[in-house]
Amino acid sequence: MSELPDDELMLRYRDGNLAAFQELYRRHSRGLYRFIAWRSARREWVDEVAQDSWLALHHARSRYQPQGSFRTWLYQIARNRLSDLQRQQQDVLLGDMAQETDFIADMLAEAAPPATLADTALDQRQQTGALYAAIRQLPAEQKDALVLQHFSGLSIEEIAQLCEVPGETVKSRLRYAMRKLREHFAHEAKPQEEKA
């Protein structure tokens, strides 16, 4: 199964092959989870939206027709579910940002190589928190493009399809996002250099 493309696996799952679903889940569960976590306003929504997305995929399997990237289709399911949840829970969206930052920092730290010293782990957590905070300040379109490419592994074409914009627009958003992050960290480094 591991050599089959996603669309073929989904067609096999549509026809009742559970091993095909297991392979799709193995390939895409972490990336989908990260995508949801970056977009979610509340930590407790991430698991719910991820489960709902896989459940929606299961219910939609009989209607599945390969039209573009499977991963884009899956992420669109998650994006729609999260949007629905955010509309339903607008009063909850004013939750504690510190808790959210800790959650994302923990999630990103899991993906990083393990640190050998406690100081290194603390430093890595602080850097991850700073990166998260900087990314959260980006305009939504730039943040989405950056997160989809760097944390979920989507291609330019997949991001364009998911965001319903041309590929050149995605490239521009990524360039602007990276420029803003570089400027942010260059500005943050100046006060520390002045202290030294």
Q: What is the pLDDT of residues 56-97, one digit of tens each?
A: 999 999 998 888 789 999 999 999 999 888 887 765 554 444
pLDDT of residue 59: 95
pLDDT of residue 96: 43
pLDDT of residue 123: 67
DSSP secondary structure, 33-64, as one string: HHHHHHH-SSHHHHHHHHHHHHHHHHHHGGG-
pLDDT of residue 192: 59
> Where does 15-155 have alpha helices with state H?
18-39, 43-60, 70-88, 97-111, 118-136, 140-150
pLDDT digits (tens, 9 = 90+) for 112-135: 555 555 556 566 677 777 888 888
